[in-house]
Structure 1
Amino acid sequence: MRQFDHSRDSDGNILGAYPLRSTFIYPTYSLVWVDMIADYYNVSGDKEFIHTYKDGIVNTLAGFEKNMNELNLVNKTPYRYFIDWYTGPNNGSGTATKNDGENSAVVSLHYVHALQNAAMLFKEIGNDLTSLVYQNRAEEIKKSVYDLCFDMETNIFAERPDKTIYDQHTNIMAILTDAIHESEQRALLDKILNDKDLLQATYYYRFYLFEAIKKVGAPELFDVALRPWEKMIEDNMTTTLERFESIEKPTRSEVHPWSASPAYFYFNYLAGIQSVKNDFEEVRIAPAFGKLKTMVGLLPTSKGTIEFKLNRTKNKLSAEITLPNTMAGNLSWQGTEIPLKKGKNVYGIKNEIK
């Protein structure tokens, strides 16, 4: 995060790789840097960290704002908006539009996502005015995306206002940013997971798909989103591919970390282990299971390793959880919060910790 901050140019763009002799800029990656700051804060609770990068956040978002047009959607830029390695007839070299991203709904919603994270960060450090400015701008763009790109006949978002291209990506980001009302998000998620005519999110972008599943509380859909990785295992892969294979665009890399997001969500979402204070000084464990009945694992953290054995029988839970001596936390199940002590905790059908 520090190196990306150092790479910023005068327009607020952050280099996609740094240090680098050439100018490698995807404006969407600059937005992801803001999201990274928010992710780090959510784990660490370190407000001083926000102060370190607040000027950079302002600079980057102001730079991206220059890309917006009178429709509150993005314009073309000298640089390419990268979203995903789309395959098939609509491959636009990283965007779905084939028109350099002009009026792209998904790119506009990525800007909303960064604005929302920035609004949260500035509110946390007491800068309510800047937080409100970002929050209001996010609402304006969301409304425009909904008014211009939501298809009332199919009840999904198109990728641009002419409604010629439809992808999973735009709809995933619509859920994450609340561009569609919360009460309609689960139905939209079901639709995009089952509509094979939509341009599909590849490995990298399924990080956001897992986040959408987590947001709407639908762990039973996790294995549907996981199927491309099952195909990798069937193909005898032991490391993760960069993108989906196709005749026109075969994968360039068979060892690509950005495709490893299931390894994060197994722990963070299915096992439900999340830091709530000072980078795992305190944790909350809220298992989601999905279609699983048993989970066993080890989660290394900066405060030591968490060991867990979780079993579900109908709506009942039995658990063995071992916390390091540097950690405290709670087990959350069926609306009940159960304190966890340092060392080994055994939780049984009788709802008691031993």
Structure 2
Amino acid sequence: MNTDFKKVLLLIGLSIWTVVLFAQESQVTINHQGKDFNMLKHAWNAQWITHPSASTMDYGVFNFRRTFDLKEAPKSFVVHLSADNRYKLYVNGTYVGRGPAIGDIAHWRYETHDLAPYLQAGTNTIAVEVINFGEFRHAKQQTFQTALILQGDTHNPVSIDTAKDSEWKVIKNNAYSTIPFVSDSVGGYYAAGPGDQVDGTLYPWGWKSPTYNDSQWQKPRLAMVEFAVGRGFLFGSTWYLVPRQIPFLSDTVTRFKKVAQANGINVSKNFVSGNEAITIPANAKVSILLDHEIHTIGYPILTVSQGKNTVIKTTYAEALFYKTSHEFSAHGGWKKGPRNDLEDQEIRGYYDIFKTDGGAQRSFQPQAMRTFRFVSLDITTADEPLVIEDYHNIYSVYPFEEKATFQSSDPSLNAIWDAAWLTLQNSSTDQFEDPYYEQLQYIGDTRIESLVSIFVSGDDRLMRKAIQQFDDSRMPNGLTQSRYPSYINQVIPTYSLLWIGMLHDYMSYRNDPEFIRNFLPGIKSVLGWFENKVDDTGMLANLAWWNFTDWSEGFQNGIPVGADDGHSANVSLQYALALQKAAEVFELLDETAQAQNYRKQAAAIIQATVQNCYDEDKKLIAERPEKDVFSQHTNVFAILADAVAPADQPALLAQLLSEKDLIQSSIYFKFYLTRAMQKAGAANLYTASLAPWKDMLDRGMTTFGETDVNPRSECHGWSASPCFDFIHTIAGIQSAAPGFQKVLIAPSFGDLTEVEASFPHPNGTLAVHFSKNKKGKVSGTITLPTGITGDFKWNNQFIKLKSGVNHL
């Protein structure tokens, strides 16, 4: 490649940095000197840099600095940066942000910051901390090598681009080493990265400040990559840079509510409020257990003074565990007691270790997000006392706004709503994830989380990002990966079908057909894999991979009976339902021939499944042709896919709810059970199905778990479904046309007498207020946004609704 092309100046002419922050990949063209340059197609002027001699593949923390002078404080100073694995950005000692948003090598995110508010006339320092988590990194973390790139806008008064001959400096921060964790040491399957071990005596304190002496620091070398380029670049590269397409996370200071236990020292309640320090004597060993009182995530900050060579072990846990129970299952974890009763319980979990250097106001903050309700500080001092100045959390989550509201005649539902919303918030960072054990974005979880997020906040950006990332994960055989991004491949074919369901959800609630059109090839490839698995019985057979449906007793490892070694009615009906959803998507986009083909395939699968697996005596569809095992799940899919005639669905639903010898739905699958209730005209049963959520609250949980009995994870986004169902099922606010351009209001009171809700429809606020008297008559108002019409349904009768206020 010629030198001139390599030196093309990109990223020019941005007057508002948020234009890039929220840019779509097709909207990143900028103008410079009368020429258009596309950030995805042309080589960046900046280059990736790294440490000149340290390993760039193994664990390591690297500090980069660039000092420069300004004649005056600028009005704008826009930079675009990224790093592998992660970075933290500081300007003149002030924290600016962290990133990049999680992605894969082919879609590596860069972020845009305006540094002007942090700059001053005179000397300034840009400081960037880059970490490579190494062998024990988070399963979500893809990587090529440790590296940093920063590109400044050409309107900036000084160029600070990272490049071969730039004035950047670097050191490896030898204060850091890693603490790997495995499932046995944490209490359940674990994939969320290592802990930090930090030796404060080796830390370069003050390195972020302009006054720091970096004369002994080294000059970086270029990373092992030809060019810094975007996804559309003509030739090859390593990281393909694309702009961050979601907002930065919201950072808020939160504080612990109480000292739950203190051994070896008295701790004033003023400590947790930040109003009083703790002094720990020399040569002492103390333990302090702090209770945040609600589940939380973030980056806790511990600030200490003096106490040279003190060792502080900080352990994080969502709940405490019985001291006598050290056995755990992959999904249940160690046995937990009541969350608010600490008797005979102890903390176990992952931890960080900080060794102090004796200086004043030394702060330790973990390199990665921590999840906890309880934190223990186990402290061993050396020859001088230690002063703990403060300890608090920086709560860091996706900035969802709670725009929906829900009130009813049953106040207990308010507590469920609040805990469900907190569950969703604590499961949402720059992707949807289980915050403690895995921090991975799974399709099954994400579909429900996406619906909760758009129903409560109206914000669909994290949903869009997830849909795109699952499409990016597709393998040569046509299936998506079950969780993505991840460097560990895991395939759940049934989750590929749920990804199609996610696309249908997006189609139902957002008028964005061109976004959906991008994924038609992916839908075809997923359904094509399943089509090739249909044998001469007309059902799916000899399925590969992990065909998970639910963590239910009776499904080994969550797999329906027959899914691995026979003909599974469960998976066959999931396939039929996905074909039906795909047909609706293709029909919306005028792909009528393909839509008809999918409907034809769905009908054939349903016919074969009913013929082979329907038990005439039980009036149920069995798990397999042997007709020896039955579940709620398969019969839920039978209702949703119309494998049973609509007129017969109420009886089938009543039977699958009453027969307790069926394999039962867990808290996750109750989302689909509720869909079957709605379809069979029995949504009034929903409020009575909330017992598992109420039980979790009774046990002192403040978020909802992966399962409702001794959950491994105390916070699992799929259990936030009540926030969706309170609006969609109880208040009855539903989409009746693609893009939510028409609504159906079909409330289901159950045992409630009054329901009031508001909802962030794309056209504006949609609000309902209903009262039901003892005779079952309903009165109230429905307010629809401008341009939206629909129907009100009650007792199988319909009333037309107009935009504005409708009185019932």
- Does TM-score exceed 0.5, indicating one fold? yes
Alignment-derived partner of residue 541 in structure 2: 75
2:727 alignment partner, SS class: helix
The separation in 2 between residues aligned to 1:293 and 1:48, in whole angstroms, is 43
The separation in 1 between residues aligned to 2:799 and 2:531, in whole angstroms, is 43
- Farther-moved stretch of structure 1 (45-54 vs 190-199): 45-54
Instruction: Name the amino acid aligned to 1:143.
Output: Q
Alignment-derived partner of residue 772 in structure 2: 312
Question: Structure 2-normalised TM-score?
Answer: 0.40
1:292 to 752, 757, 782: 752
The separation in 2 between residues aligned to 1:340 and 1:99, in whole angstroms, is 48
Pair 1:157 & 2:618 matched = no
1:257 to 717, 726, 730: 717
Pair 1:267 & 2:727 matched = yes
1:90-146 deviation per Cα after TM superposition (whole angstroms, max 9, x unaligned): 331011327626311101110001001111222222222211211111111111111
Query: Superposed, which structure 2 residues align to 1:38-187 within 5 Å?
Result: 38-87=504-553, 90-97=554-561, 100=564, 102-187=566-651
Alignment-derived partner of residue 76 in structure 2: none
Question: Structure 1-normalised TM-score?
Answer: 0.88
2:704 alignment partner, SS class: coil
Query: Superposed, which structure 2 residues align to 1:342-353 within 5 Å?
Result: 342=804, 345=805, 347=807, 351=808
* Aligned CA distance change for structure 1 residues 296 and 103 (closer, same or farther; 3 Å): same
* Aligned CA distance change for structure 1 residues 16 and 330 (closer, same or farther; 3 Å): same
1:296-349 deviation per Cα after TM superposition (whole angstroms, max 9, x unaligned): 23323444443432111234322244555x56434615434353444xx362xx
Q: Is the 8 A contact 2:619 2:652 kept in 1?
A: yes
The separation in 1 between residues aligned to 2:592 and 2:565, in whole angstroms, is 32
Gaps of 5+ in 1: none
* Aligned CA distance change for structure 1 residues 132 and 336 (closer, same or farther; 3 Å): closer
Quote how far apart the aligned CAs of 1:176 are.
0.6
Alignment-derived partner of residue 679 in structure 2: 215
Gaps of 5+ in 2: 1-466
Rg comparison, structure with higher value: 2
The separation in 1 between residues aligned to 2:592 and 2:782, in whole angstroms, is 40
What is the Cα-based RMSD across aligned positions, in Å? Answer: 2.3
- Farther-moved stretch of structure 1 (265-274 vs 142-151): 265-274
Query: Superposed, which structure 2 residues align to 1:323-342 within 5 Å?
Result: 323=784, 328-330=788-790, 332-334=792-794, 335-342=797-804
1:46-86 deviation per Cα after TM superposition (whole angstroms, max 9, x unaligned): 33233221111111110222233322222334411010002
The separation in 2 between residues aligned to 1:92 and 1:120, in whole angstroms, is 33
Q: Percent identity?
A: 36
Pair 1:230 & 2:690 matched = no
The separation in 2 between residues aligned to 1:27 and 1:41, in whole angstroms, is 22
Q: Is the 8 A contact 1:86 1:96 kept in 2?
A: no
Quote how far apart the aligned CAs of 1:237 are.
2.5
The separation in 2 between residues aligned to 1:253 and 1:281, in whole angstroms, is 38
Instruction: Name the amino acid aligned to 1:18.
Output: Y
* Aligned CA distance change for structure 1 residues 281 and 154 (closer, same or farther; 3 Å): closer
Q: Is the 8 A contact 1:41 1:49 kept in 2?
A: no
Q: Is the 8 A contact 1:219 1:291 kept in 2?
A: no
2:693 alignment partner, SS class: helix
Instruction: Name the amino acid aligned to 2:547.
Output: Y
Higher normalized helix content (fraction of residues): 1
The separation in 2 between residues aligned to 1:338 and 1:123, in whole angstroms, is 26
2:519 alignment partner, SS class: helix
Higher normalized strand content (fraction of residues): 2
The separation in 1 between residues aligned to 2:560 and 2:793, in whole angstroms, is 41
Paired residues in the alignment total 339
Alignment-derived partner of residue 494 in structure 2: 28
Q: Is the 8 A contact 2:696 2:708 kept in 1?
A: no
1:267 alignment partner, SS class: helix
* Aligned CA distance change for structure 1 residues 315 and 38 (closer, same or farther; 3 Å): same
The separation in 2 between residues aligned to 1:160 and 1:213, in whole angstroms, is 24
Pair 1:191 & 2:647 matched = no
